[in-house]
Amino acid sequence: MPLIDHVEWTETVDGSRLRVYPTTAGRQTTFPGTDERAWREVLTESPDADTPGMRDQFICHWIWARLVEPNKTSWNLEPWRPAVGYQATVDARCNPGGPER
């Protein structure tokens, strides 16, 4: 059962953004290890997303955004955000380098 429905690249005033659309199963699963499985699904659709900062943003969304805003249509990952490590990404509410616009 897929965890990610699809992804799409868009352009914003700040730069490129990868919009990740989880499936219902992806939003609801609590099974250990599904974060890495879902990340691999993202990379299958968009191999150029494979950077440490993008991964940290994704895992942050996977763990925290699903709790805080479970029905958010997409999770937005931006390659221009600084790669600051996972904990600093969490501390920045998944958006290191400034809030989402």
3-state class percentages of the chain: helix first, strand second, coil last, to nearest 5: 45, 20, 40
Domain count, the chain: 1
Q: Is residue 28 part of a domain?
A: yes
Token output for 32: 């250990």
Q: Is residue 99 part of a domain?
A: no
Q: What are the pLDDT tens digits along the chain (101 aa)?
A: 999 999 999 999 999 999 999 999 999 999 999 999 999 999 999 999 999 999 999 999 999 999 999 899 999 999 999 999 999 999 999 999 987 77
Residue 11's domain comprises 4-91
Residue 28 and residue 81 in contact, taking contact as beta carbons nearer than 8 Å: no
Residue 75 and residue 55 in contact, taking contact as beta carbons nearer than 8 Å: no
Q: Is residue 96 part of a domain?
A: no
Q: Is residue 82 part of a domain?
A: yes
pTM over 0.85: yes
Q: Is residue 81 part of a domain?
A: yes
Q: Is residue 98 part of a domain?
A: no
- CB atoms near residue 71 (< 10 Å): 6
pLDDT, position 99: 76
Residue 41 and residue 2 in contact, taking contact as beta carbons nearer than 8 Å: yes
